[in-house]
């Protein structure tokens, strides 16, 4: 997520909001934002309600056996349609912001929009 | 002549073990170092290297250095230990396959409302239909800026425990 934080100006120039979701509590997420300097919002799905509805549950994925979200990245367009989805199969591999930005540019007609700063 | 204890073997074993153990006891607390063992892998590699050099010199100069037998035994154990670590991190950490119900490209994303870490209620649909506010400025969907929001990148993640 650090790489997404660094790429926020590129998302800003394309008018794309970046929002993270986990099952952590509000306090845990806020502590993470503070310690890592994240400025995008982190939503708290503490009851697993959304990750269940989105079928992204990693059952017993946490060390203490709790159900958590598997890693997944989405691009949603203004109509609410999924334009890009990325599901890693390995814990150590995550989507890079460049992949999401490329999906945004593809959505916007294939040519990279101006900006980047 | 009294043979040297061949400290490289022992230091190598120590560094290797420390490299594995410290991942779980310490470095796991740092998101970047947990997702990829940037500190631990080089540490383990260094430990195995020292151990290897120690064992090699025990074989080349047995009259000076001890450790042909115990060095080899420790070496095999250390490699096995390091191998187990790598297996655990890179293969034991495989994600389960994504569920059939997970929205795919072209499908509509189920709407939701969740609190952010400052207890602002965030609704996906209303963020998508709101004027764009720069990331990091405030809660999404609040305040006016130039133009409509062009989309949302959602990052589901495991949480930092």
Smallest CA–CA distance, residue A112 to chain B, in Å, is 14
Distance (Å, whole) CA B80 – CA B156: 35
Q: Mean pLDDT for chain A?
A: 88
- Give yes or no: residues B15 and B75 share one domain: yes
- Give yes or no: residues B24 and B54 share one domain: yes
Determine the pLDDT at residue A77.
96
- Structure-model confidence comparison of residues B125 and A92, the more confident one: B125
- According to DSSP, the residues that pair with B122 across neighbouring strands are B114
Q: What distance separates the 2 farthest-apart alpha carbons in chain A?
A: 46
Question: Contact B77/B69 with Cβ under 8 angstroms?
Answer: no
Q: Which of B40, B72, B90 is the last residue of a domain?
A: B90
Tell me the domain boundaries of chain A.
2-107
Q: Which of B48, B63, B90 is the last residue of a domain?
A: B90
> Structural domain tally of chain B?
2
Distance (Å, whole) CA B44 – CA B26: 15
Span B132-139, average pLDDT: 76
Q: Would you say residue A116 has pLDDT above 80?
A: no
The reply to whether residue A82 touches residue B103, judged by beta carbons under 8 angstroms, is: yes
Q: Would you say residue B112 has pLDDT above 60?
A: yes
* Distance, CA of B148 to chain centre: 38
Determine the pLDDT at residue A64.
82
ipTM (interface pTM): 0.91
**Domain hosting residue B41, numbered range:** 7-90
Q: What is the DSSP string of chain A?
A: -HHHHHTHHHHHHTTEEEEEEESS-HHHHHHHHHHHT--S-EEE-TTSHHHHHTT-EETT-STTS--EEPPEEEEE-TTSBEEEEE--SBTT----HHHHHHHHHHHTTSSPPS---
B 52-81 near A (Cβ less than 8 A): none
Minimal CA–CA distance to A15: which of A108, A109, A95? A108
Q: Would you say residue B93 has pLDDT above 90?
A: no
The reply to whether residue B117 touches residue A41, judged by beta carbons under 8 angstroms, is: yes
- Structure-model confidence comparison of residues B34 and B102, the more confident one: B102
The percentage of chain B sitting over the pLDDT mark of 70, rounded to a whole number, equals 91
Which tokens belong to B47? 């430990």
Across the interface, which of A8, A14, A41 has its CB nearest the CB of B139?
A41
In chain A, residues with a C-beta closer than 8 Å to the C-beta of B152 are 16-19, 74-76
Determine the pLDDT at residue B83.
93
- Give yes or no: residues B11 and B83 share one domain: yes
Q: Is residue B73 part of a domain?
A: yes
Domain spanning A2-107: which CATH class is it, in words? Answer: alpha beta
Confidence of residue A19 (pLDDT cuts 50, 70, 90): very high
Instruction: Give B68-91 pLDDT, tens digit per residue.
Output: 999 999 999 999 999 999 988 877
Q: Is residue B34 part of a domain?
A: yes
Determine the pLDDT at residue A115.
43
The reply to whether residue B94 touches residue A33, judged by beta carbons under 8 angstroms, is: no
The reply to whether residue A81 touches residue B111, judged by beta carbons under 8 angstroms, is: no
3-state secondary structure of A76: strand
- Give yes or no: residues B82 and B109 share one domain: no
Lowest mean pLDDT among A75-79, B7-11, B133-137: B133-137
Confidence of residue A114 (pLDDT cuts 50, 70, 90): very low
The reply to whether residue A90 touches residue B94, judged by beta carbons under 8 angstroms, is: yes
Q: Would you say residue B94 has pLDDT above 90?
A: no
Distance (Å, whole) CA A116 – CA A13: 6
Instruction: Give A23-75 pLDDT, tens digit per residue.
Output: 999 999 999 999 999 999 999 999 999 999 999 998 888 878 889 998 999 99
Instruction: Give B25-51 pLDDT, tens digit per residue.
Output: 888 777 778 778 899 999 999 999 999
- Which residues, including other chains, have CB under 8 Å from residue B104's CB and lie 6 or more apart? A82, A85
Q: Which of B39, B58, B90 is the last residue of a domain?
A: B90
Confidence of residue B145 (pLDDT cuts 50, 70, 90): low
The percentage of chain B sitting over the pLDDT mark of 90, rounded to a whole number, equals 63
- Give yes or no: residues B113 and B136 share one domain: yes
Confidence of residue A89 (pLDDT cuts 50, 70, 90): confident
Distance (Å, whole) CA A45 – CA A33: 16
Residue of B nearest to A33 (CA): B117
- Give yes or no: residues B82 and B21 share one domain: yes
Span B107-123, average pLDDT: 96
A 48-107 near B (Cβ less than 8 A): 49-51, 53-59, 61-64, 68-85, 87-92, 94, 100, 104, 107
**pTM, 2 dp:** 0.70
Instruction: Indicate which of A17, A51, A53, A81 best probes the interface with B, i.e. most B CBs within 10 Å of its own CB.
Output: A17
């Amino acid at each position: 997520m650090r790489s997404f934080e660094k790429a926020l100006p590129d998302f800003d120039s394309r008018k794309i909001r970046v929002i993270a979701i986990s099952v952590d509590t509000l306090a845990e997420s806020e502590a993470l934002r503070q310690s890592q300097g994240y400025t995008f919002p982190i939503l708290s799905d503490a009851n697993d309600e959304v990750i269940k509805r989105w079928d992204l549950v990693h059952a017993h994925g946490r060390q203490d056996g709790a159900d958590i979200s598997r890693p997944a990245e989405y691009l949603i367009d203004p109509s609410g349609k999924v334009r890009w989805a990325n599901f890693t199969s390995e814990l150590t591999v995550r989507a890079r912001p460049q992949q999401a930005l490329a999906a945004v540019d593809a959505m916007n007609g294939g040519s990279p929009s101006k900006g980047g700063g | 002549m009294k043979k040297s204890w061949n400290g490289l073997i022992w230091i190598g074993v120590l560094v290797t073990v420390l490299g594995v153990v410290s991942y779980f006891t310490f470095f796991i607390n740092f998101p970047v170092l947990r997702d990829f063992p940037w500190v631990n892998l080089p540490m383990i590699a260094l430990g195995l290297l020292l151990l290897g050099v120690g064992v090699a010199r025990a074989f080349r100069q047995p009259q000076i250095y001890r450790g042909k037998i115990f060095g080899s035994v420790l070496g095999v154990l250390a490699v096995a230990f390091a191998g187990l670590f790598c297996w655990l991190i890179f293969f034991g950490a495989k994600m389960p396959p994504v569920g059939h119900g997970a929205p795919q490209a072209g499908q509509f994303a189920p709407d939701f409302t969740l609190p952010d870490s400052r207890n602002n209620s965030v609704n996906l649909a209303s963020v998508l239909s709101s004027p764009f506010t720069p990331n990091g400025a405030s809660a999404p969907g609040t305040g006016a800026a130039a133009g409509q929001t062009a989309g949302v990148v959602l990052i589901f993640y495991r949480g930092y425990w």
